[in-house]
A = this chain, B = another copy of it.
Amino acid sequence: MPAVTYLEAIRLALWEEMERDPNVFCIGEDIGIYGGAFKVTDGFIDRFGAERVIDTPIAESAIVGAAYGASLTGLRPVAEFQFMDFIACAFNQIVNVLAKSHYRWGAPAPLVLRGPSGGGVHGGPFHSQNPEMWFVKTPGLKVVCPATPADAYGLMKSAIRDNNPVIFFEHKFLYRRIKEELPNGGGDFTVPLGRARQARAGRDLSVITYAAMVHVALEAAEALAAEGIEVEVLDLRTVLPLDREAIAETVRKTSRAIILHEDTLTGGLAGEIAAIINEEAFDWLDAPISRIAALDTPVPFSPPLEHAFLPKVEDVVREARRLRAW
Q: Please report A residues at the B interface, Cβ cutoff 8 Å.
A: 85, 88-89, 91-92, 95-96, 99-100, 103-104, 125-126, 133-134, 136-140, 240, 242, 264, 266-275, 278-279, 282-283, 285, 287-291, 296-298, 300
Contacts and interface: CB of A to CB of B under 8 A. Distances in A.
A28 to B, nearest CB: 17
A266 B240 contact: yes
A279 B92 CA distance: 34
B85 A139 contact: no
A274 B278 CA distance: 8
Nearest to A296: B139
For the complex of A and B, the 6 pairs showing the least CB-CB separation, nearest first, are: A137-B267, A271-B271, A282-B288, A274-B275, A271-B272, A91-B91
How many identical chains are in the complex?
A: 2
Contacts of A296: 139
Given A137-B137, A267-B269, 15 more contacts: A85-B96, A88-B92, A134-B137, A136-B266, A137-B267, A139-B297, A140-B297, A140-B298, A271-B275, A278-B278, A278-B289, A279-B291, A282-B285, A282-B289, A283-B288
Contacts of A136: 266-267
